[in-house]
Amino acid sequence: MKQADIAGVVLAGGLGRRMGGIDKGLQDLGGRPLVQWVLERLAPQVGTVLINANQNLARYGEFGCPVLPDRIEGFAGPLAGLHAALSHAQNPLLVTVPCDSPFLPADLVTRLRNALEAQDADIAVPRTGKQMHRAFCLARRELLPKLAAFLDSGERKVGLWHASLNVAEVGFDDQADAFSNINTPEELAQFGQRPREP
Protein backbone atom coordinates (compact mmCIF):
# COMPACT_ATOMS: atom_id res chain seq x y z
CA MET A 1 0.00 0.00 0.00
CA LYS A 2 1.35 3.44 -0.92
CA GLN A 3 2.30 5.66 2.03
CA ALA A 4 2.14 9.01 0.25
CA ASP A 5 3.73 11.02 3.07
CA ILE A 6 6.86 8.81 3.21
CA ALA A 7 9.94 9.33 1.06
CA GLY A 8 12.01 6.31 0.06
CA VAL A 9 15.71 6.36 -0.68
CA VAL A 10 17.71 3.64 -2.40
CA LEU A 11 21.21 3.50 -0.93
CA ALA A 12 23.65 3.10 -3.83
CA GLY A 13 26.48 5.24 -2.52
CA GLY A 14 29.01 2.56 -1.58
CA LEU A 15 32.23 1.52 -3.23
CA GLY A 16 31.13 -2.06 -3.99
CA ARG A 17 34.37 -3.51 -2.60
CA ARG A 18 33.06 -7.08 -2.48
CA MET A 19 31.77 -6.65 -6.03
CA GLY A 20 35.31 -5.88 -7.17
CA GLY A 21 35.07 -2.12 -6.81
CA ILE A 22 32.33 -1.70 -9.41
CA ASP A 23 29.05 0.17 -8.92
CA LYS A 24 26.82 -2.52 -7.47
CA GLY A 25 23.48 -0.89 -8.20
CA LEU A 26 24.18 -0.82 -11.95
CA GLN A 27 25.11 -4.50 -12.26
CA ASP A 28 22.83 -6.60 -14.45
CA LEU A 29 20.37 -9.06 -12.93
CA GLY A 30 18.04 -10.77 -15.38
CA GLY A 31 18.54 -8.08 -18.00
CA ARG A 32 18.00 -5.09 -15.72
CA PRO A 33 20.23 -3.17 -13.30
CA LEU A 34 19.93 -4.17 -9.65
CA VAL A 35 18.73 -0.69 -8.73
CA GLN A 36 15.81 -1.00 -11.14
CA TRP A 37 14.55 -4.12 -9.36
CA VAL A 38 14.74 -2.27 -6.06
CA LEU A 39 12.98 0.83 -7.42
CA GLU A 40 10.13 -1.28 -8.79
CA ARG A 41 9.59 -2.88 -5.36
CA LEU A 42 9.89 0.37 -3.41
CA ALA A 43 8.07 2.93 -5.58
CA PRO A 44 4.53 1.54 -5.05
CA GLN A 45 5.03 1.80 -1.27
CA VAL A 46 6.06 5.47 -0.93
CA GLY A 47 5.11 8.92 -2.18
CA THR A 48 8.58 9.99 -3.35
CA VAL A 49 11.67 8.00 -4.36
CA LEU A 50 15.27 9.22 -4.17
CA ILE A 51 18.58 7.56 -5.03
CA ASN A 52 21.69 8.12 -2.94
CA ALA A 53 24.75 7.64 -5.16
CA ASN A 54 28.33 8.92 -5.24
CA GLN A 55 29.36 7.61 -8.66
CA ASN A 56 27.70 7.49 -12.08
CA LEU A 57 25.18 10.18 -11.10
CA ALA A 58 23.99 10.75 -14.66
CA ARG A 59 23.36 7.02 -15.13
CA TYR A 60 21.32 6.85 -11.94
CA GLY A 61 19.45 9.95 -13.06
CA GLU A 62 18.10 7.97 -16.01
CA PHE A 63 15.78 6.12 -13.61
CA GLY A 64 13.71 9.28 -13.16
CA CYS A 65 14.43 9.97 -9.48
CA PRO A 66 16.41 12.76 -7.83
CA VAL A 67 19.99 11.55 -7.21
CA LEU A 68 21.62 12.73 -4.00
CA PRO A 69 25.33 12.32 -3.31
CA ASP A 70 26.57 12.11 0.27
CA ARG A 71 27.10 15.41 2.05
CA ILE A 72 29.72 13.69 4.21
CA GLU A 73 33.02 13.07 2.42
CA GLY A 74 34.86 9.78 2.09
CA PHE A 75 32.16 7.21 1.27
CA ALA A 76 30.97 7.23 4.87
CA GLY A 77 28.45 4.39 4.50
CA PRO A 78 24.68 4.01 4.77
CA LEU A 79 24.30 6.62 7.50
CA ALA A 80 25.73 9.21 5.11
CA GLY A 81 23.05 8.21 2.61
CA LEU A 82 20.35 8.56 5.25
CA HIS A 83 21.82 11.95 6.21
CA ALA A 84 21.73 13.16 2.58
CA ALA A 85 18.15 12.01 2.14
CA LEU A 86 16.90 13.50 5.43
CA SER A 87 18.61 16.76 4.48
CA HIS A 88 16.76 16.83 1.15
CA ALA A 89 13.33 15.33 1.83
CA GLN A 90 10.44 17.34 3.26
CA ASN A 91 8.50 14.23 4.27
CA PRO A 92 8.00 13.51 7.98
CA LEU A 93 9.19 9.92 7.50
CA LEU A 94 11.86 8.40 5.28
CA VAL A 95 12.61 4.76 4.53
CA THR A 96 15.99 3.47 3.35
CA VAL A 97 16.60 0.33 1.31
CA PRO A 98 19.92 -0.91 -0.12
CA CYS A 99 20.45 -1.17 -3.86
CA ASP A 100 21.55 -4.81 -3.60
CA SER A 101 18.30 -6.32 -2.23
CA PRO A 102 16.08 -6.73 -5.29
CA PHE A 103 13.45 -8.90 -3.59
CA LEU A 104 12.53 -6.56 -0.72
CA PRO A 105 9.06 -7.07 0.78
CA ALA A 106 6.11 -5.45 -0.98
CA ASP A 107 4.66 -4.60 2.46
CA LEU A 108 7.92 -3.38 4.01
CA VAL A 109 6.88 0.24 4.51
CA THR A 110 3.41 -0.50 5.90
CA ARG A 111 4.75 -2.92 8.49
CA LEU A 112 7.62 -0.65 9.53
CA ARG A 113 5.25 2.30 9.91
CA ASN A 114 2.75 0.33 11.94
CA ALA A 115 5.49 -0.66 14.39
CA LEU A 116 7.03 2.82 14.49
CA GLU A 117 3.72 4.39 15.42
CA ALA A 118 2.56 1.64 17.79
CA GLN A 119 5.81 1.88 19.78
CA ASP A 120 6.30 5.65 19.34
CA ALA A 121 9.81 4.77 18.18
CA ASP A 122 12.50 6.87 16.52
CA ILE A 123 13.14 4.29 13.80
CA ALA A 124 11.79 0.92 12.75
CA VAL A 125 14.10 -1.82 11.46
CA PRO A 126 13.22 -5.26 10.02
CA ARG A 127 14.50 -8.41 11.68
CA THR A 128 14.54 -12.06 10.59
CA GLY A 129 15.39 -14.50 13.35
CA LYS A 130 18.07 -12.75 15.39
CA GLN A 131 19.44 -10.79 12.43
CA MET A 132 18.69 -7.10 12.14
CA HIS A 133 18.65 -5.72 8.59
CA ARG A 134 19.96 -2.26 9.47
CA ALA A 135 20.33 -0.92 5.93
CA PHE A 136 16.54 -0.99 5.85
CA CYS A 137 14.97 1.49 8.23
CA LEU A 138 12.06 3.86 8.59
CA ALA A 139 13.24 7.04 10.32
CA ARG A 140 11.62 10.24 11.51
CA ARG A 141 12.86 13.40 9.81
CA GLU A 142 13.46 15.15 13.14
CA LEU A 143 16.38 12.77 13.77
CA LEU A 144 18.49 14.76 11.28
CA PRO A 145 20.28 17.00 13.84
CA LYS A 146 21.15 14.00 16.02
CA LEU A 147 22.41 12.04 13.02
CA ALA A 148 24.46 15.02 11.81
CA ALA A 149 26.11 15.32 15.22
CA PHE A 150 26.86 11.59 15.27
CA LEU A 151 28.53 11.76 11.85
CA ASP A 152 30.37 14.97 12.72
CA SER A 153 31.91 13.13 15.68
CA GLY A 154 33.52 10.73 13.21
CA GLU A 155 31.26 7.77 13.96
CA ARG A 156 30.02 5.66 11.06
CA LYS A 157 28.64 2.40 12.51
CA VAL A 158 24.94 1.90 11.96
CA GLY A 159 24.57 -0.37 14.99
CA LEU A 160 26.10 2.25 17.28
CA TRP A 161 23.76 4.90 15.91
CA HIS A 162 20.75 2.64 16.44
CA ALA A 163 21.89 1.93 20.02
CA SER A 164 21.31 5.61 20.81
CA LEU A 165 17.70 5.51 19.59
CA ASN A 166 14.35 3.99 20.47
CA VAL A 167 14.23 1.24 17.81
CA ALA A 168 11.15 -0.75 16.87
CA GLU A 169 12.26 -4.19 15.68
CA VAL A 170 9.82 -5.61 13.15
CA GLY A 171 9.75 -9.36 12.55
CA PHE A 172 9.75 -10.51 8.94
CA ASP A 173 10.35 -14.22 9.47
CA ASP A 174 7.53 -14.88 7.02
CA GLN A 175 9.62 -13.24 4.27
CA ALA A 176 13.20 -13.95 5.33
CA ASP A 177 14.40 -14.47 1.74
CA ALA A 178 13.17 -11.01 0.78
CA PHE A 179 16.20 -9.49 2.51
CA SER A 180 18.71 -11.51 0.49
CA ASN A 181 21.36 -9.19 -0.82
CA ILE A 182 23.91 -9.43 -3.59
CA ASN A 183 27.47 -8.49 -2.67
CA THR A 184 29.73 -10.44 -5.02
CA PRO A 185 29.84 -11.40 -8.72
CA GLU A 186 29.26 -15.00 -7.64
CA GLU A 187 26.08 -14.08 -5.78
CA LEU A 188 24.95 -12.02 -8.76
CA ALA A 189 25.35 -15.06 -11.01
CA GLN A 190 23.59 -17.27 -8.47
CA PHE A 191 20.61 -14.96 -8.09
CA GLY A 192 20.42 -14.59 -11.86
CA GLN A 193 19.40 -18.24 -11.99
CA ARG A 194 16.83 -17.91 -9.19
CA PRO A 195 13.12 -17.90 -10.08
CA ARG A 196 11.73 -14.44 -9.27
CA GLU A 197 8.33 -13.38 -8.10
CA PRO A 198 6.21 -11.51 -10.62
Q: What is the pLDDT of residue 21?
A: 58
Q: Give me the residues paired with residue 28 across strands.
A: 33
Higher pLDDT, 187 or 173: 173
Q: What is the pLDDT of residue 52?
A: 95
Over residues 156-174, mean pLDDT: 95
Q: What is the pLDDT of residue 188?
A: 63
Note the pLDDT tens digit of each residue in 102-116. 999 999 999 999 999
Answer whether CATH 3.60.20.10 is correct for domain 3-192.
no
Note the pLDDT tens digit of each residue in 17-35. 444 456 888 988 888 999 9
Over residues 116-132, mean pLDDT: 97
| Long-range pairs, 112-120, Cβ under 8 A, ≥24 | 112/136, 112/137, 112/138, 112/168, 112/170, 113/3, 113/6, 113/138, 115/168, 115/169, 115/170, 116/140, 116/168, 118/168, 119/166, 119/168, 120/166
Q: What are the structural domain ranges in the chain?
A: 3-192
Global confidence as pTM = 0.89
Classify burial at 198, counting beta carbons within 10 Å of its beta carbon; exposed 0-12, middle 13-18, buried 19 or more: exposed
Average pLDDT value for the chain = 88
* Cα separation, 54 vs 60, whole angstroms: 10
E strand or H helix at 110: helix 108-118
- Among 81-90, 144-153, 178-187, which is the least confidently predicted range? 178-187
Closest CA to 188 of 12, 28, 26, 13: 28
Percentage with pLDDT > 70 across the chain: 87
- Measured torsion, CA atoms of residues 127, 132, 137, 143, in degrees rounded to the nearest 10: 130
> Confidence class of residue 156 from pLDDT cuts 50, 70 and 90?
confident
